[in-house]
């Protein structure tokens, strides 16, 4: 931990938190100076894996005040953005079935599939509803016994325990007309894929705060063991983010890679074992296709055999149209950190939040949407 950050009040995990220390301008200035001092003119590529960090970095304008040799690259940490085109097309095909209701989080509605969006399907009269929790979908199924209610399951480790609990609840209630389309993903395998990418050459990872509340710190140790690359789990306040960057730069320039937890007020080293057990009860790991990263071994979750009746992918036979990526969209390169969003020729021209071409401009945590909102260069 940096000297500057160690002066901030750091309440123990689970106690009331005084956020003023994490927004302290003097402390933030001290950390910025420290980053400049440590980095000098050394070329350093850091990646913020999580979309919420991308939004924080944009909101506080950190990209523009970093040393010119230090790049902060956005990664694959928005679950909507990394959902493969084929999964969107599959959901759209399910929505075309007779007597089917699709339920989904709001961000998925406008994500373009190969030829249409769920939002357009709804406008054409299909029964597609936004829900705020998978339990809402369960209630819709219970009150509409003549309809098949499918929940579009998209999300990382923070979301999947609630989905698992929902499936157990559906079993408990004996629901026959509820199922989930599983497009869930787990984060460490995607980070491994990026660490392996010579084209991106990431020197250090700002590791996701929310996901780590579930996973804990050990799943990231491979970064040091296999790639000699440091990582810092950190929070989303200005001092959190700057502290994470300062720590990463220190570890890079001193060649002392480690995985650190700078978000101890929320993340226990071993994460949340109860939530993980819930997920393990319902799901098994499976290979999954990520937009931009392709197929990554053991990076998805498939429902275990005893819950197969709740798996919409197995339960409904649909014809899925051939997958066509949005024309000219560079979301794949953005999600790998190969280009910044404004490196896409469509950014801010043909593609804006109002008329999004790709998912990274649709989602509130998408890199392109964040760059656009905060006018990042
Ligand atoms: Fe895709 Fe639009 Fe981002 Fe370009 S600006 S990568 S088209 S979402």
Burial 220-245 (b: 16+ CB within 10 A, else e): bebbbeebebbbbbbbbbbbbbbbbb
* Whole-angstrom distance, CA of residue 362 vs CA of residue 360: 6
Q: Is the Cβ–Cβ distance between 311 and 182 less than 8 Å?
A: yes
Q: Which residue CA neighbors atom 5 of ligand 1 most closely?
A: 347
Q: Which residue CA neighbors atom 8 of ligand 1 most closely?
A: 358
* Whole-angstrom distance, CA of residue 217 vs CA of residue 213: 9
| Sign (positive or negative) of CA dihedral 301, 304, 307, 310 | positive
Q: Which residue CA neighbors atom 3 of ligand 1 most closely?
A: 368
Q: Is the Cβ–Cβ distance between 266 and 50 less than 8 Å?
A: no
Ligand 1: residues whose CB is within 6 Å? Answer: 329-331, 334, 341, 344, 346-347, 351, 357-358, 360-361, 368
User: Comparing C-alpha atoms, which of 47, 85, 71, 72 is closest to residue 190?
Assistant: 47
From first to last of its 377 residues, the chain has per-residue pLDDT tens of: 434 444 344 444 445 667 788 889 999 999 999 999 999 999 999 999 999 999 999 999 999 999 999 999 999 989 999 999 999 999 999 999 999 999 999 999 999 999 999 999 999 999 999 999 999 999 999 999 999 999 999 999 999 999 999 999 999 999 999 999 999 999 999 999 999 998 889 999 999 999 999 999 999 999 999 999 999 999 999 999 999 999 999 999 999 999 999 999 999 999 999 999 999 999 999 999 999 999 999 999 999 999 999 999 999 999 998 888 888 999 999 999 999 999 999 999 999 999 999 999 998 889 999 999 998 76
* Whole-angstrom distance, CA of residue 280 vs CA of residue 285: 9
Provide the terminal-to-terminal Cα distance of the chain, rounded to the nearest Å: 30
User: In ligand 1, which atom is closest to the CA atom of 367?
Assistant: 3
Helix (H) or strand (E) holding 290: strand 283-290
pLDDT, residue 5, reads: 43
Q: Give how far Cα 3 sits from Cα of 38, 39, 164, 207, 247, Å.
A: 13, 16, 42, 21, 10
| Sign (positive or negative) of CA dihedral 154, 158, 163, 166 | negative
β-bridge mates for residue 288, sequence order? 296
pLDDT, residue 32, reads: 98
The DSSP result for 160-177, as a single string, is HHHHHHHHHHHHHHT-SS
pLDDT, residue 376, reads: 75
User: Comparing C-alpha atoms, which of 91, 298, 276, 75 is closest to residue 182?
Assistant: 91
DSSP annotation of 294 reads E
Q: Note the pTM of the prediction, 2 decimals.
A: 0.92
Q: Which residue reads 């001193």 in tokens?
A: 254
Q: Which residue CA neighbors atom 7 of ligand 1 most closely?
A: 329
């Amino acid at each position: 931990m940096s000297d500057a950050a160690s002066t901030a009040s750091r309440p123990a995990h689970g106690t009331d938190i005084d956020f003023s220390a994490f927004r302290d301008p003097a402390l933030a200035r001290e950390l910025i100076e420290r980053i400049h001092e440590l980095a000098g003119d050394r070329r350093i590529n850091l990646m913020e894996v999580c979309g919420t960090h991308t939004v924080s970095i944009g909101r506080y304008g950190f990209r523009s005040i970093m040393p010119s040799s230090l790049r902060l690259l956005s990664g694959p940490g928005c679950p909507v953005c990394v959902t493969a085109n084929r999964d969107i097309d599959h959901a759209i095909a399910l929505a075309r079935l007779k007597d089917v209701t699709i339920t989904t989080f709001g961000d998925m509605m406008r994500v373009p599939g190969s030829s249409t969006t769920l939002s357009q399907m709804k406008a054409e009269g299909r029964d597609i509803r936004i829900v705020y929790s998978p339990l809402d979908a369960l209630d819709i199924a219970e009150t509409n016994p003549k309809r098949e209610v499918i929940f579009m399951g998209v999300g990382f480790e923070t979301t999947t325990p609630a989905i698992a609990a929902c499936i157990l609840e559906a079993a408990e209630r004996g629901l026959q007309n509820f199922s989930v389309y599983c497009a869930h993903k787990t984060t460490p395998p995607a980070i491994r894929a990026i660490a392996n990418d010579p084209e991106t050459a990431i020197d250090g990872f700002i590791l996701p705060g929310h996901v780590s509340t579930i996973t804990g710190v050990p799943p990231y140790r491979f970064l040091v063991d296999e790639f000699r690359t440091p990582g810092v789990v950190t929070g989303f306040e200005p001092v959190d983010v700057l502290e994470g960057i300062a720590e990463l730069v220190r570890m890079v320039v001193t060649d002392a890679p480690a995985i650190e937890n700078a978000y101890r007020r929320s993340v226990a080293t071993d994460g949340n074992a109860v939530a993980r057990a819930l997920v393990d009860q319902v799901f098994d790991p499976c290979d999954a296709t990520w937009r931009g990263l392709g197929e990554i071994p053991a990076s998805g979750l498939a429902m275990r055999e005893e819950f197969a009746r709740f798996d919409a992918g197995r339960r409904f036979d649909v014809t899925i149209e051939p997958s066509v990526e949005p024309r000219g969209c560079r979301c794949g390169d953005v999600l790998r950190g190969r280009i910044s969003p404004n490196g896409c020729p469509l950014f801010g021209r043909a593609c804006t939040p109002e008329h999004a071409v790709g998912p990274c401009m649709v989602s509130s945590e998408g890199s392109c949407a964040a760059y656009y909102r905060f006018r990042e260069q």
